[in-house]
Amino acid sequence: MSMSKKELRNIKLKMQSMPQSLSSAQKKQNRILEVATELFLERGYDAVSLDDILEHVGGSKTTLYSYYGGKEGLFAAIVHDSCQRKLGPLMSLNLANLDPRSGLSAIGHRFVSLISDPGGQALYRMMIAEVARFPKLASEFYAAGPESTIRLVKRNLEHWQKAGLLSSGHSETMAIQFIGIMLGNFSTRAMLGLPVGLSEQEIKDWVERGVALFLEGVLPRT
């Protein structure tokens, strides 16, 4: 049975309300999430039981149920936790004082680094594999990842448009097109389990060419 939106929201609120100073219970939850993430990514959702997780972290099923309400709740918590950790560096970018080329390069570098990360690729494949089982969670995954990235780019494009640094146009469409350029065929390769790892220099070169291509179409004509 799929989890309701209310259940998913309660799990997310519990995670977001954790104070900076971690109690022993919170450290335990972090350890459970760490181990469960490794096992789910390595074996897949169906091949991991709560007993498998407890073998590594100790404790009882009662503890797991009190934290997450069961295996589905634990999986939801893993997805939310992973999204927050992996997207944090991208979403925290401060581009207010940067010109379009520098700002888009900063976004592109962090975005391409993220999608070429093996852990992020494994999470993406796992989410795709379980989308039928967790349709609501899939929607939240999209909102937390792709949609948040579109909003980040869109917001900055609008800032540069108002400053006269970019030509006018539909900012959301432009944001999606920019992300498409950065994305290339990486997500397709990742979904198929094909190698995507890029060196720092390869990421830099890819982003530089992609930003130049995008700006060719959106810089004001003089």
Tell me the pLDDT of the chain averaged across its residues: 87
Residue range 115-133: average pLDDT?
86
Give the best-scoring range by mean pLDDT among 11-20, 28-37, 98-107, 113-122: 98-107
- Would you tell me the crossing angle of helices 118-129 and 24-43 to the nearest 10 degrees? 80
Residue 1 has pLDDT above 50, yes or no: no
Specify the range with the lowest mean pLDDT, choosing from 76-80, 99-103, 212-216.
Answer: 76-80
Query: Which residues touch 110 (CB under 8 Å, ≥6 apart)?
Result: 89, 90, 93
Q: Give me the pLDDT at residue 7, please.
A: 56
pLDDT digits (tens, 9 = 90+) for 48-73: 999 999 999 998 899 899 999 999 89
Residue range 133-154: average pLDDT?
90
CATH architecture entry for 5-74: Orthogonal Bundle (1.10)
Q: Give me the pLDDT at residue 9, please.
A: 60
Length of the chain: 222
Is 33 in contact with 20 (CB distance < 8 Å)?
no
pLDDT digits (tens, 9 = 90+) for 154-212: 999 999 999 999 999 999 999 999 999 999 998 888 888 887 778 999 999 999 999 99
Considering only residues 170 and 96, tell me which one the structure prediction assigns the higher pLDDT.
170
Q: Tell me how far apart the alpha carbons of residues 97 and 141 are, in angstroms, rounded to a whole number.
A: 30
> What residue ranges do the domains of the chain occupy?
5-74, 93-217
pLDDT digits (tens, 9 = 90+) for 189-204: 888 888 777 899 999 9
Which of 4-20 are b and which e, b meaning 16 or more Cβ less than 10 Å from the residue's Cβ? eeebbeebbeebeeeee
Residue range 81-107: average pLDDT?
91
Q: Give me the pLDDT at residue 194, please.
A: 83
Give CA separation, 202 vs 88, 109, 185, 187, 208, in Å: 22, 10, 14, 16, 10
Nearest to 166 by CA among 110, 91, 104: 104
Q: Tell me how far apart the alpha carbons of residues 8 and 33 are, in angstroms, rounded to a whole number.
A: 16
Q: Give me the pLDDT at residue 20, please.
A: 46
> Is the four-CA dihedral 52, 58, 63, 64 of positive or negative sign?
negative
Dihedral angle computed from the Cα positions of residues 12, 14, 16 and 21, in that order, rounded to the nearest 10 degrees: -150
DSSP 73-87: HHHHHHHHHHHHHHH
Instruction: Tell me the Cα Rg of the chain.
Output: 20
Domain 93-217: give its CATH code: 1.10.357.10
